[in-house]
Every structure is written in structure tokens, then in C-alpha cells.
Amino acid sequence: MKKHAILTLLIFFLVSTPSVFAADKTSMDFPLNVGDSVYFEDGYYKVKLVRTDDVMGFAWLNFSCDTMRCGYDPKELKGYQDEPNCYPTSLNQIICIKKTREVTSNRAIVNLTFPSDWSWQIITAEELKMPKLVVRKTVDKPRVKVDEIVQVKITIENTGNGSATGIDIDEIPITALIPMGEELEPKIRDPLPAGESDSDTYLVQAVKSGTFTIPKTSVRYWDESRKNEYTAESNTVSVTVLAPEVKVSKLTTTIQFDKENVTRGEEITATILIRNVGDAPANDVDLITRLPPGLELVSGALEDKYHEIKPGSTREVKAVIRAVKVGNYTLTPRTVYSDGETTTTSPVIIVTEEVVEYTKYLYLIPILLILLIIIAIVIKRHREYSF
């Protein structure tokens, strides 16, 4: 049973493949210009002159076959005078370059060996309708914030001389830029005639901060005959996703006095201002101010609590304090809140004893002396009259 299966497969392979095992081979000169091809068996195998070196006498030819059936990858081989070079391998010699001659900058005569029963024809570069797709990838915004939408545009231009058909676009998504929609399949006009272009877009959402590269777009396509397959790739595109801004509150605390130089027993009005200069509300605000010994609270308050202080808002605390002892004093209000704390130091309060200026009463001394003299005279005369 196994023998019959193997025999069946062998017969199928021999029938479906041009006669590569034929004992008879033919050698023939083919005058080719760069871009010309020799089609064997109606294009099942192709040999194309791709470039030449007229100084060294080299000619490079591209060998290919119908990859859907033959199974051989395309290969570029060099021909030079009498040095054979075979396709697909030196052990499996289906078509061979025997020699090249009369090599110019754009032309060469190539001697090829191939099975005698094969048909062939020369297809010139002008006759060969070959599409050539150029793929470009762009984005509308190279710098975005997290959750922003980016538009990716795929533009495909056919710069060849034949229409491109069977256009298949392969787009690879990345986890940091999630496609908006279920499928990521840009659509391009198919067939795309020579000299024309088409484009499509899709949307992605930035979900992670950092700089990310959107991979190349891969495109597979065929010529009009559907016998030749081609590939093309786009450029990559980088998108920078900015880290989200962290909004925090920031409180500043200031304290002022209506006077700073006082005598013992005087009263001072203190004003404390708390201002939120940040860009987020400050929560659970606690103002703590301790009075040093030598000062006492008369009215008002030097401490307070607030549930919230919004950005740009200010809270004011007023108190009247009395200087009870001589000395120098400062107050240090401390504000504790959800995003931190702040401390400030007040100006110095200087408390002194009251100084009596006696000099301003010197002008009374002469008057007192005169009064004493008058009193003494009055008393003296009163005594005299009494006797």
C-alpha cells in the first residue's frame, strides 16, 4: 500500500513539473539587455538579466520559478566567461549559465543550458509589465498624551509599468498603541494601475507612556498575469506618548504683624494667610501655631482646620496677642496637608519695658521753685502776724 502511494506521488510530481530530468540539454546564446528575461515553459522558469560589469565581464542574472509548484526560492547568480553556475543548485542543475560574452554596461550575451524539450521566449523590459509598489507610513501626531488617538496612514504608490493585483497588506499592532476596532486591515484599491497611488488610515489609542515604534507594513502583490509575486515594505514610524501630568496641591503660609516693636502689655494683631499655589485641591489642612512663653492670646485663633483648599484659594486666620514679658519672639506656623507640609517663621517681635522720659518735665522745676518760695514767704508772714 505504501509503495503504491509513493509511486502515485512520484507520477504526480513528474506530470506537474516541467521535464527537468530530461537527458538531452540544449545550450543557446541569449542576447539580453538589462531588464530583459527569458521565459521557459511559458514563464514556469524565468531568467532575468539584472546588471552587468563591463570592466570585469560579469553579468548577474536572477533565476526564479513558479514558487507555488516548483518549491525553489529565487536566486541571483553571476555569469563569467566559461565558469558554469546552475539553478537551483550545483547538484540539481536545471538551468545553467555556461558563459557570458560581449558584456557592456547594459547588455550581455548569455549562454544558457536547459532541457531540450522546453519552450522559451525572450520578454524585453518594455514588454514585461511589472508593478512596483512603494509603501509609506505616516502618523498625524508624533507626540501625544496617554489616551489620545493617533491616525496612522498607509500610502501605496505603483511606480512600475504594470498593474499590481492581489494586494495583501500585513499590519502588525503593538500593545502600547491599541487599534480602534476589531481588525487592523487597511484597504487599498485592487488592482492598482501603474503610476497611481491609494491610501487608507486607521486609528490607534495610546495607552502607555514612552517612545514606541510602529513596525513596517508588509505588502505582497502580483502582476497582471498572476504569475509573478512581489513584496514591499514601508518605513517604521515612532510615536512618543507623554507621561500623564501629576497634579498636586502646594500650600504657602505667611504671617504678618501690625507692629513688631512693642512694650510690655501692648497688644499685637497677627494675620496668617494660607494659599494654594498648586494645581490640585489640598485636603485635610491643619494649621498649627504655638505661642512662645511671654506672649498670650487675647482673641481670635492661631490654629485652624480645613477640609479642602482649592487651587488659587486663600484662607486667613487673625488673632490678637499681648506681650507679657520683655524679650524677642517669633511665631512658626506649620501647615500640614494631604500633599505635604509647609513651615514659615514670622518677623521678630521685640518687647521692651516702658521708659518714662523725665526730661520733658524739666520746665516745671523753675515753677516749682517759685511756688515753694511763695509758700515759704506766706508761712513766714503768717507767723509774724500771729505774734
DSSP, residue by residue, 293-311 = TTEEEEEE-S-EEEEEE-T
Give me the residue label for grid cell 514670622. Answer: 346
3-state secondary structure of 246: coil
- At residue 361, the pLDDT reads 65
Per-residue pLDDT of the chain (387 residues), as tens digits, is 444 444 444 444 443 444 444 458 899 999 999 888 999 988 889 999 989 998 888 999 999 887 667 788 888 998 887 778 899 988 888 999 988 989 999 999 999 999 999 999 998 877 777 888 999 999 999 999 988 999 999 999 998 888 999 999 998 888 888 888 766 778 889 899 988 999 999 999 999 889 999 999 999 999 887 877 889 999 999 999 998 888 899 999 999 999 999 999 999 999 999 999 999 999 999 999 999 999 999 999 999 999 999 999 999 999 999 999 999 999 999 999 998 999 999 999 999 987 666 666 677 778 888 888 888 787 777 666 655
- At residue 7, the pLDDT reads 46
Closest CA relative to residue 232, chosen from 136, 141, 309, 138: 136
- At residue 61, the pLDDT reads 92
Cell of 2: 505504501
Helix H or strand E encompassing 316: strand 314-323
In b/e form, how buried is each residue of 361-383, taking b as 16+ CB within 10 angstroms? eeeeeeeeeeeeeeeeeeeeeee
> At CB < 8 A and 24+ separation, what contacts does 63-70 make?
63/87, 63/88, 63/95, 66/227, 67/229, 69/16, 69/17, 69/44, 70/17, 70/44, 70/45
- Cβ-contact 325, 293 below 8 angstroms: yes
How far apart (Å, rounded) are the C-alpha atoms in residues 202 and 154?
9
- pTM beyond 0.85: the answer is no
Q: Which amino acid is at 337?
A: Y
How far apart (Å, rounded) are the C-alpha atoms in residues 287 and 289?
7
Cell of 28: 543557446
- At residue 359, the pLDDT reads 65
Cell of 380: 513766714
* Ordered domains of the chain (ranges, CATH): 17-123 (2.60.98), 133-242 (2.60.40.10), 251-352 (2.60.40.10)
- At residue 22, the pLDDT reads 43
Neighbours of 56 (CB within 10 A): 11
- At residue 368, the pLDDT reads 82
How far apart (Å, rounded) are the C-alpha atoms in residues 169 and 152?
14
- At residue 343, the pLDDT reads 92
